[in-house]
Amino acid sequence: MQRLTCSIRKQAIYVDYRKRCSPPYGMSHYHLHSDVELHWLAEGERMFFCNGQAIPLKQHSLLILSPHLIHKMEPASRPVHARYVVNAHLSSLPDEWRELTKPLFAKEFSLLEIPVHQQQQIHSLFNQLLIEYKRPITQESLLYQQVLLCQLLLEAQRQFHSLKEVQTKSSAVFSGPFEIVAHLIEYIEHHFDEALDLNTLASVVHLSPAYTSRIFKQATGQGLTEHLQEVRISQACKRLVKTNEPIFQLARRVGFQSSAHFHRVFKRILDLSPTQYRNKQQRKNGNITKQ
Which residue segment(s) compose the domain that 99 sits in? 5-168
d(CA 4, CA 229): 11
Q: What is the mean pLDDT of residues 245-250?
A: 94
d(CA 116, CA 112): 12
Query: Is 270 within 8 Å of 233 (Cβ atoms)?
Result: yes
Is residue 229 a part of any domain in this protein? yes
pLDDT reported for residue 4: 53
d(CA 57, CA 80): 13
Residue in 235, 231, 212, 213 with CA at minimum distance from that of residue 223: 213
pLDDT (tens digit, 9 = 90+) per residue, 60-97? 999 999 987 878 888 877 778 999 999 998 888 888 88
Residues 50 and 92 occupy one common structural domain: yes
Residues 204 and 123 occupy one common structural domain: no
Q: Is the pLDDT of residue 150 over 70?
A: yes
Note the pTM of the prediction, 2 decimals. Answer: 0.63
Residues 202 and 90 occupy one common structural domain: no
pLDDT reported for residue 52: 65
Q: Looking at 168, 201, 216, which one is the last position of a domain?
A: 168
95 φ, ψ (degrees, to nearest 5): -55, -40
Is residue 261 a part of any domain in this protein? yes
pLDDT (tens digit, 9 = 90+) per residue, 201-227? 999 988 999 999 998 888 777 789 988
Q: Is the pLDDT of residue 172 over 60?
A: no
123 φ, ψ (degrees, to nearest 5): -60, -40
d(CA 201, CA 193): 13
**Residue 22 class from Cβ within 10 Å (0-12 exposed, 13-18 middle, 19+ buried)?**
exposed
Is residue 291 a part of any domain in this protein? no
Residues 137 and 236 occupy one common structural domain: no
**What CATH number should be reported for the domain holding residue 228?**
1.10.10.60
DSSP string, 193-223: TS---HHHHHHHTTS-HHHHHHHHHHHHSS-
